[in-house]
Structure 1
Amino acid sequence: MDAGFEAHLRAGDVTVDGDDAALLAAVDREGSLSAAADALDRSYSRAQKRVSALEEGLGALVERTRGGADGGGSRLTDAGRDLLARFARVRAAFADTAETDAAVLRGTVRDRDGELATVETAIGDVTALLFEDATDVQVAVRADAVTLHDATTAPDADASSARNRFAGTVAAVDRRESVALVEVTVGEEDGADGEEDGADAGATLPVLVTVDSLERLALEPGRGVVATFKATATRATPV
């Protein structure tokens, strides 16, 4: 799988990622938090703090026992196992969809900074990785590489690590069991915030989100959003 792929599960105010899932699975497998930290080559203190942070937002995930004939240990609660199962479903759904859904934009390179190229496309200037010497390229933007923000509270371009930022409008939503594929129209003359984005034709970006994010952002056709994606998660190739 592509190294840029990473699934997240938002539950309440907590975001659970692959490292968290690996830690909980190791606790279940190894029988204690210290053994889980050793198996993952992590410090016990950091593992303990992370489990505590998860439990503050999600409730008890690890049941701890002290002493006794078996010497004590830890195991996942039912809530902990349910969380792992939810994360596994989300990761599987992301993997299945992300491999096939992407926007491919034709464009012209107008500037280079090492391996980073600024490409003029139908949605405006896109910064992407380009390893070849080329002028006419196509830029692939994967569905799992795009993050959606509320148009009124989205971070400014200078305040975000994402080099690419576009106002747009939700065009369609395909809700599935754990994730949703959201189609966002960007780059038209009038974006979600009423500003010009530098192109008349525009294009549609497929965006993969969890059902939690879908509901939290109230994503539905006609809603204004801001789409961001990192240059390092975007690849340009010669055409």
Structure 2
Amino acid sequence: MDPGFEARLRAGDVTFTPRDATLLRAIGETGSLNAAAGELGRSYARAHGRLGELETAFGSLVERHRGGSGGGGSHLTPDAERLLARFDRLQSAFSGTASAEETVLTGRVTGREGELATVETPAGTVRALAPPAADRVQVAVRADTVTLHATSEVPDEDATSARNRFAGTVVDIDRGEAVALVSVDVGGDRPLAALVTMESVERLGLAPGREVVATTKATATRATPAPAVDE
């Protein structure tokens, strides 16, 4: 991974950058565009102009109130909160530091071959590195270890080391400038997250409703004992 990567979200010709995220958060914290610009050392005119560009591309981001009995000020709209959440997910997924971008599947070990265990999960059979004594486990699949394939282009199992396969349907795509975070419904409790290049998004024609096959290597998949549950 490139440690200097910066998440970017694009809508038309406008790109939402870390600098824009900082501006929105400052508005949310200070309750004022003017105060946010001052705190960040930016001119009010440029901050106001940039906010206008962002709202044209991404929708209403800041709701403004004039003075009155409750006072004036500004606060972030739900669209702004969702935009910041998308931005954070993309940045976290690429850096690999956020467990939110690590899909967890719970299952039971049904077989072993050395350090590798065969685990039955709601999304299918998974091979993963697992501790020897574990029976009921949680299998973690990192977004940056997942490869997506068109259903007609899945490589033969003998031709690849990525033996874990999940057939599913794309449910959401957070598009960045160079990469995208794709969520695929594979039958688990939550969608499987995959971090792919925008080139792959275009080549595979990825969009909500598109059927795909996700693959991962067993050696890149980790299983840990699942928390005990009362039965």
Task: Please report the TM-score for the alignment, with normalisation by the length of structure 1.
Answer: 0.53
1:98 aligns with one of 86, 96, 105: 96
Q: What is the number of residues matched between the two proteins?
A: 138
* Cα distance in 2, alignment partners of residues 165 and 223 from structure 1: 16
Report deviation, 1:131.
2.7
Q: Which amino acid aligns with 2:218?
A: A
User: Do 1:130 and 1:235's aligned partners in 2 also have CA atoms closer than 8 Å?
Assistant: yes
Report deviation, 1:99.
2.3
Other-structure match for 1:48: none
SS of equivalent to 1:144: helix
Calculate the aligned-residue CA RMSD, in Å: 2.3
User: Do 1:111 and 1:117's aligned partners in 2 also have CA atoms closer than 8 Å?
Assistant: yes
1:217 aligns with one of 185, 204, 209: 204
* Cα distance in 1, alignment partners of residues 162 and 214 from structure 2: 10
- The sequence identity of aligned pairs, in percent, is 58
* Cα distance in 2, alignment partners of residues 97 and 168 from structure 1: 25
User: Do 1:182 and 1:206's aligned partners in 2 also have CA atoms closer than 8 Å?
Assistant: yes
SS of equivalent to 2:138: strand
Q: Residues 152-171 of structure 1 correspond to what in structure 2 (within 5 A)?
A: 152-171=152-171
Report deviation, 1:166.
1.8
Q: Is 1:232 the equivalent of 2:219?
A: yes
* Cα distance in 1, alignment partners of residues 174 and 156 from structure 2: 28
User: Do 1:157 and 1:165's aligned partners in 2 also have CA atoms closer than 8 Å?
Assistant: no
**Partner deviation per Cα, 1:124-150 (whole Å, 9 max, x = no partner):** 110000134110110000000100011
Report deviation, 1:181.
0.4
* Cα distance in 2, alignment partners of residues 182 and 220 from structure 1: 9
CA 1:167–1:153: 2 relative to 1, 3 Å? same
User: Do 2:93 and 2:143's aligned partners in 1 also have CA atoms closer than 8 Å?
Assistant: no
Other-structure match for 1:174: 174
* Cα distance in 1, alignment partners of residues 190 and 157 from structure 2: 20
User: Do 2:150 and 2:211's aligned partners in 1 also have CA atoms closer than 8 Å?
Assistant: yes
Other-structure match for 1:110: 110
CA 1:233–1:146: 2 relative to 1, 3 Å? same
* Cα distance in 2, alignment partners of residues 218 and 203 from structure 1: 23
User: Do 2:106 and 2:138's aligned partners in 1 also have CA atoms closer than 8 Å?
Assistant: yes
SS of equivalent to 2:186: strand
Q: Which amino acid aligns with 2:220?
A: A
Task: Please report the TM-score for the alignment, with normalisation by the length of structure 2.
Answer: 0.55
Other-structure match for 1:125: 125
**Partner deviation per Cα, 1:93-135 (whole Å, 9 max, x = no partner):** 5864532201101111010101000011110110000134110
Q: Which amino acid aligns with 1:234?
A: T
Report deviation, 1:202.
6.4
Q: Structure 2, unaligned stretches of length 5 or more?
A: 4-89, 227-231
Q: Which amino acid aligns with 1:138?
A: Q
Other-structure match for 2:20: none
Q: Is 1:207 the equivalent of 2:194?
A: yes
Other-structure match for 2:57: none
SS of equivalent to 2:126: strand
